[in-house]
Amino acid sequence: MDETKHRIYGRRKGHKLRKGQARLMQEVLPQLRIDLEQPAPLDPAGLFGSAVDTHWLEIGFGAGEHLLWQAQTHADTGIIGCEPFVNGVAQLLARLETDHISNVRIHDGDARDVLDCLAADSISRIFLLFPDPWPKLRHNKRRFVTQENLERLARVLAPGGEFRFASDIPDYVRWTLSHIRRQGVFEWLADGPGDWRHRPSDWPQTRYESKAVQAGRRPSYLRFRLPH
């Protein structure tokens, strides 16, 4: 990662990996890890071959519940998942191996490094679900949603592509809408409150979201489209 970039994620590792998880990180991850050393631009089609006909990207997939559901539901879609938290990567790898899922590739680091390498107009859908809100004012600069990162998303999204964002932190929702309006590129796909208060049927609940709801926090689900 470019050391001049602000760090946008917290810890890299939690509890010690179990023996099986360590094996997955040593043996399976290298087969799925994206090689960012190859010359840019990175064409996602080269990662998946002819088995898929469209490509999605999830930024910060956590333990992988959402990514896994999407990969199982859309077998003809190649999904790139970015997550720097080692334990989360290990959890996803276990499910990919057990369920024999082959349409997922992983970057176990900063998503910005992938965005900077991807070919323009190469991704059809991007997910940023319940990112770290960095609530302290002095840490706001670490939030993923910035003008610079929105430009990154707009560059790699194909015309008509969709950017999905979710958060249970009202301030981060307002922050995101403000940055989207300021950028002036994305179209907010909402006609009324129900469009952001209710999760669409093709948007599975994550473990974090479930905990937020149980704690009494109401998530917002925002969908944006890059115009043709």
Residue 26 located in a structural domain:
yes
Split at pLDDT 50, 70, 90, the class of 3 is very low
Q: By C-alpha distance, which of 71, 145, 152 is closest to 114?
A: 152
- The mean pLDDT value for 45-60 works out to 92
- Helical packing angle, 65-73 and 86-98, nearest 10°: 30
Which amino acid is it at 71? Answer: A
User: Percent of the chain beyond pLDDT 70?
Assistant: 94
Residue 134 resides in a domain: yes
Residue 176 domain flag: yes
Q: Are 130 and 206 in contact (CB under 8 A)?
A: yes
Residue 14, in any domain of the structure: no
Asked which of 10-19, 80-89, 158-167 is least confident by mean pLDDT, the reply is: 10-19
Query: What average pLDDT score do residues 139-166 get?
Result: 95
Q: Is the pLDDT of residue 80 over 80?
A: yes
Q: Rounding to the nearest 10 degrees, give the CA dihedral for residues 120, 121, 126, 128.
A: 40
Domains held by the chain: number: 1
* Residue 11 placed within a domain: no
The two tokens of residue 144 are: 């993923």
Q: Higher-confidence residue: 51 or 56?
A: 56
pLDDT score recorded for residue 11: 58
Let me know if residue 130 belongs to a domain. yes
pLDDT single digits (tens) 99-148: 999 999 999 999 999 999 999 999 999 999 999 987 787 778 889 999 99
Q: Which domain holds residue 210?
A: 19-225
Decide: 215 and 159 in contact? Cβ < 8 Å: no
Give the confidence band of 162 by pLDDT, cuts at 50, 70, 90: very high
pLDDT at 4: 46
CATH of the domain at 169: 3.40.50.150
User: Looking at the domain assignment, is residue 190 inside a domain?
Assistant: yes
pLDDT per residue over 164-220, tens digit each? 999 999 999 999 999 999 999 999 999 999 999 999 999 999 988 999 999 999 999
pLDDT of residue 138: 79
Helices (H), 120-217: 147-156, 170-183, 194-197, 207-214
Give residue-wise pLDDT tens across range 101-114: 999 999 999 999 99
Spell 118-154 as b/e; 16+ CB within 10 A means b: bbeebbbbbbbbbbbbbeeeeeeebbbbbeebbebbb
Q: Report the C-alpha gap between 183 and 194 in whole angstroms.
A: 24
Known active-site residue 195? no
- One DSSP character per residue, 23-62 reads HIIIIIHHHHB--TTSPSSB-THHHHGGG-SEEEEEE--T
In sign, the C-alpha dihedral spanning 184, 186, 189, 190 is negative
Indicate which residue of 43, 110, 132, 191 is catalytic. 132
